[in-house]
Structures are given as structure tokens and as C-alpha cells.
DNA sequence: TCTAATACTTACAAATTAGTAAGTATTGCA
DNA sequence: TGCAATACTTACTAATTTGTAAGTATTAGA
């Protein structure tokens, strides 16, 4: 069993949306794929400093199962696998935009309070 | 130590926003306070079926520390404590609105796929 | 003095999520 | 035959988050 438990039942929309986004690296994967269009496994790993291969693949699989990302395998040597957002995944990214903007404001606030850390 | 670790440094806005919202009941607390304006501890507990008192107070304290909610104590017998959103908390709720709408769509999708469960 | 009605606290256990490190799979080419 | 270069897998451990259940604090009023 690789995927985490949940996927409903949900008691409201936020609940249902948070379920697919919660996971230490998921929103960053979304961001990375949104910025680059298409990324290979190794590129994603390098783009997310600190992520372990285990968590990266686990998150990718869950997001694929949730219909957010598309996985394409090229039968070459060495093997190549490309990940990209589906239309559904892009719509999630759009829905996250205001939250991201709010977070950016929060970072400014925190930076203003404690100029050395928390940025 | 009651509060959870994080609160920065953050690598992007989503990251910074997710940090204050992640926690099993936080988005529901936001929703509940947004709908009712003001709620007592016991009202919140009853409004969030399944929440333990420990987690409820822990989340409330963290959200207060994050400036999202306001806590007002009335020195009466029996004691009364009222919670409400701050302006900052209301702005977070606004930022969450598109995500909530996305989640509502997702619930519909899931309901269409598996009419009996996952709603 | 005792009870009642809130709003917490605390110690401990269980569940969930993430990390580490080593191993597997594939296959063209020297 | 053996290596190289990716993309995973797996077993085990550690950290974090949540739950349970019982206890504390306050004070008006019987």
C-alpha cells in the first residue's frame, strides 16, 4: 500500500481540496510542474531540495491517482519518465493562486516582525 | 510545548499559507467561525463532530498565535470564552474560497464516479 | 460546604507521515 | 559479460500528529 488512506468522505469543499494537496511536497510539485510544463523524475528531485526519492514517488503516484498529473514513460535506455499537469491539475493550481498570494503577504509580515528569520 | 514546530522559513507563498491551515480541523474552524461570527468553545466542539477537546484547544491556540482568531474571556460563572476571526483570519478565508469551490467540484466528480461512497 | 457548569490541562498511547539506506529493473554498448 | 544511467522499491526507523481518558480551575448559589 503506497497511497495514504483518505479520499473521502468529505464534509465540505475545503476538506476535499486539502486532501489532495496535503503532503509535505505536493504543493511544491504542483508549482514545479506548473512552471516547467514537463519534468523528469530526476529533475523534480533536484528541484525540490531535501525530498527523498521515496516521498517523491509516493506523492507523484497519489497525485496521478487523483488525476492531477500525467505520467509518460519513454522506453529508452536509460529509461525516461516525464511528469506534467493534467487540465484538472492546472485548475487546482489556479484555485491555489489566491492562497499563494496570501502566503506571500504573510511572509512579508513575518519578515517585517523578525527581520533575521522566518522569511 | 503546545504549538507545532514550523512557522518558517518558507520557500514560497503556498508553503507559508499551508503552514497555518494544515492541521486536521483548522480549515473547519475557519469555516465555522466565518459562518457564525462568534462561537464559544463548547459550540465549536459541537460544531466539529469528532474533534477532541485537546486538538480543538491546540488548534485554537496556534491560530490565535498566528493572528487568525481572537479570543475573548468573560469572567462569569460558569466561564465563557468567545472565539472569532480577526480581519487577517477573514482574509485567509477569502483566499481559501476558490480552493473550496474546487473541492466542491471534486466532490461532485467523485460522487459521479462512485455514487454510493466518497461524497 | 457542596454542587454545577464551563473551559481547559495533562500524561500516555495510537496512528499517520516522512526519512534512510540499500536493493531491483531495464537495456544499449564496450 | 559487465557497466552505465535512470527510475523506482523495499524494509526499517524516526518524527510528527492525533486520540483517550482522567484531572484541574473558577465561583455563584443551594
Q: Is B69 helix (H, G, I), strand (E, B) or coil?
A: strand
Neighbours of B56 (CB within 10 A): 17
CB pairs under 8 A between A and B: 135
Does residue A100 have a pLDDT over 60? yes
CA of A7 to C1' of C27 (A): 38
Q: How confident is the model at residue B4 (pLDDT cuts 50, 70, 90)?
A: low
What is the pLDDT averaged over residues B57-76? Answer: 95
Q: How high is the pLDDT of residue A113? A: 85
> Is A17 within 8 Å of B102 when comparing Cβ atoms?
yes
Does residue B116 have a pLDDT over 80? no
CA of B69 to C1' of C26 (A): 55
Does residue B58 have a pLDDT over 80? yes
Q: Which set of grid coordinates corresponds to residue A98?
A: 489566491
Rounded CA separation A99/B98 (Å): 9
Q: CA of A78, closest CA in chain B: separation in Å?
A: 32
Strand partners, B84: B38, B70
Does residue B118 have a pLDDT over 90? no
Q: How high is the pLDDT of residue B3? A: 52
Q: How high is the pLDDT of residue B77? A: 80
b/e code A97-119 from CB counts within 10 Å (16+ = b): ebbbebbbbbbeebeeeeeeebe
Strand order in the sheet with B80-85: B38-40, B80-85, B69-74
What is the pLDDT averaged over residues B63-84? Answer: 93
Q: Is the shortest CB-to-strand distance from B54 to strand C under 7 Å?
A: yes
Which residues in 64-103 of chain A line strand D, with CB less than 7 A from it?
A: 71, 73, 77-81
Tell me the pLDDT tens digit for each residue of A68-99: 999 999 988 888 999 999 999 999 999 999 99
Answer left, alpha or beta for residue B79, where phi above 0 means left and psi between -120 and 50 means alpha: beta
Q: How confident is the model at residue B2 (pLDDT cuts 50, 70, 90)?
A: very low
Q: Is the shortest CB-to-strand distance from B47 to strand D under 7 Å?
A: no
Neighbours of A5 (CB within 10 A): 6
Q: How confident is the model at residue B114 (pLDDT cuts 50, 70, 90)?
A: confident
CATH topology (fold) of B13-112: Arc Repressor Mutant, subunit A (1.10.10)
Measuring CA to CA, which residue among A8, A53, A71, A96 is closest to residue B106? A8
Q: CA of A80, closest CA in chain B: separation in Å?
A: 28
Q: How high is the pLDDT of residue A44? A: 96
Angle, CA of A17, A21 and A22, to the nearest 5°: 110
Tell me the pLDDT tens digit for each residue of A38-72: 999 999 999 999 999 999 999 999 999 999 999 99
Residues in chain B within 8 Å Cβ distance of A104: 12-13, 16
pTM of the full predicted structure?
A: 0.90
Residue of B nearest to A26 (CA): B15
Q: How high is the pLDDT of residue A77? A: 80
Cβ–Cβ under 8 Å, residues A30 and A60? no
Residues in chain B within 8 Å Cβ distance of A15: 27-28, 103
- Mean pLDDT value across chain B: 91
Q: Which residue has the cell 529533475?
A: A43
Rounded CA separation A23/A20 (Å): 8
Q: Which residue has the cell 459562518?
A: B35
Does residue A3 have a pLDDT over 60? no
CATH topology (fold) of A13-113: Arc Repressor Mutant, subunit A (1.10.10)
What is the pLDDT averaged over residues B69-94? Answer: 94
Amino acid at each position: 500500500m503506497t497511497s495514504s488512506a483518505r479520499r473521502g468522505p468529505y464534509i465540505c469543499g475545503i476538506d476535499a481540496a486539502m486532501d489532495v494537496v496535503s503532503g509535505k511536497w505536493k504543493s511544491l510539485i504542483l508549482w514545479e510542474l506548473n512552471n516547467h510544463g514537463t519534468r523528469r523524475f530526476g529533475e523534480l528531485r533536484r528541484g525540490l531540495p531535501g525530498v527523498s526519492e521515496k516521498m517523491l514517488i509516493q506523492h507523484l503516484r497519489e497525485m496521478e491517482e487523483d488525476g492531477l498529473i500525467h505520467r509518460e514513460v519513454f522506453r529508452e535506455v536509460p529509461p525516461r519518465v516525464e511528469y506534467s499537469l493534467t487540465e484538472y491539475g492546472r485548475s487546482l493550481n489556479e484555485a491555489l493562486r489566491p492562497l499563494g498570494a496570501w502566503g506571500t503577504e504573510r511572509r512579508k509580515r513575518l519578515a517585517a516582525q523578525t527581520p533575521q528569520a522566518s522569511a
